[in-house]
Structure 1
Amino acid sequence: MKGRFIAAGLGLLLAAGGALAADLKRAEEIVGGRCFICHGMEGEAASALYPRLASQHADYIARQLADFKSGKRKSETMAGMAADLTPEEMKALGEFFQKKPATHSQSADPDLSGVGRYIFTKGNQYSGVAACVSCHGPKGYGTPQLPRLAGQQALYIENQLKQFNTRERNNDNAVMHSIASKLTELEVKAVSSFISTLE
């Protein structure tokens, strides 16, 4: 009797493993057909304008794709890319990119990155800016609900902070609206520069 339960359990595990492999194969097909143009096959991003997806949380990617599809997050390009994706495909794409190794940038201006390090780890008590680590963690790895920031493109981070400030981006945590509205242009550039260097 015990042997039957073990065999049944192993059978379920093998079936789940096969389904995951099939899902990742489908994700690879989708990436090779459309995502790679901006994000690269490894999630490394083809330009500083586009986010690096490598090592990003699978659930976070799936949620962003769903928000693009529904229009909750605005982007004509991404709305078109996500329009025909099923929830299962969105989840598979998240898993695909989460498995890719993260990359990062070298600081072009260590002084600027130093200011960014201060904001990232301590915030700015004089203007009420909270430290990034309080939500995204000391290494910028985030959570399944909050994005991994470590190694993200500096220009992409800058643009997202500006969109949070102007409320062009409002599909995520409303706390970001308050934080972004208090950041100076120097702080935006500095924290974006520092985040891009995190491994």
Structure 2
Amino acid sequence: MDLARAEEIVSGRCFLCHGMNGESSTSLYPRLAGQHYQYIAKQLADFRSGRRQSETMKSMADELSDDEMLALGVYFETKPAVSSPVDDAELAAVGRFVFFRGNEYSGVAACASCHGDKAYGTAQLPRLAGQGAKYVENQLKSFNSRARTNDNAVMHSIASRLSELEIKAVANFISTLK
């Protein structure tokens, strides 16, 4: 695995949105630091194939080999992840509740049941801990509207049951996790 090549790719294109260490320039883009390398490689492959929609990311992934995608995944996985400070403690408390317990009245499963108590995810499910709140909100809305279809179909059902308050609260809480 050529990590020097991965760093070259990051410094040539990825850093503009995701930063050299996977800490995005804005909450609109995902933080990649600490993300599982297999998950990153899969997302890049999905962008390249068109399974995941983004013209910008498709054009970036089109030029990458499978080995480069894996190397980029390893590169970002080894970078330290950071979190955001709590900006609304009450909203974060609602998010914490939904993250750990779900909402039995609307049928929302606890996020922790799949993504883990620390929100570190797995090779198949993304690390959520420290992810930007706005990015998480946007992804939940994309799952709900079926604009995002490349990943776990369970997320369509979950996202469709979340209220606007729950989306904002969960996103806020997730962003504070380390």
How would you bin the TM-score normalised by the shorter chain? Answer: over 0.9
Name the residue aligned to 2:162: 183
What are the equivalent positions in structure 2 for 1:93-112 lying under 5 Å apart?
93-112=72-91
Percentage of identical aligned residues:
67
Name the residue aligned to 2:134: 155
Opposite residue 167 of structure 1, the aligned amino acid is R
Opposite residue 122 of structure 2, the aligned amino acid is T
How many pairs were matched up?
A: 178
Name the residue aligned to 1:167: 146
Compute the TM-score of the two structures, normalised by the length of structure 1. 0.89
Name the residue aligned to 2:14: 35
Q: Return the structure number with greater relative CO, CA threshold 8 A, min gap 6.
A: 2
Opposite residue 41 of structure 1, the aligned amino acid is M
In 1, the alpha carbon distance for the partners of 2:168 and 2:60 equals 29
The answer on 1:73 being equivalent to 2:52 is: yes
In 2, the alpha carbon distance for the partners of 1:76 and 1:107 equals 33
In 2, the alpha carbon distance for the partners of 1:145 and 1:165 equals 20
For residue 107 of structure 1, report the CA deviation from its aligned partner. 1.2
The answer on 1:64 being equivalent to 2:43 is: yes
Identify the match of residue 195 of structure 1 among 154, 174, 177: 174
Name the residue aligned to 1:135: 114
Which is higher, the Rg of structure 1 or of structure 2?
Answer: 1
For residue 195 of structure 1, report the CA deviation from its aligned partner. 0.2
Q: Which has the higher helix share?
A: 1
In 2, the alpha carbon distance for the partners of 1:48 and 1:122 equals 26
The answer on 1:123 being equivalent to 2:102 is: yes
Name the residue aligned to 2:33: 54
Name the residue aligned to 1:45: 24
Opposite residue 110 of structure 2, the aligned amino acid is A
Gaps of 5+ in 2: none
Opposite residue 63 of structure 2, the aligned amino acid is D
Task: Show structure 1 runs of 4+ deviating over 3 A.
Answer: none
Secondary structure of residue in 2 paired with 1:107: coil
Gaps of 5+ in 1: 1-19
Identify the match of residue 64 of structure 2 among 80, 85, 98: 85
Compute the TM-score of the two structures, normalised by the length of structure 2. 0.99
Name the residue aligned to 1:113: 92
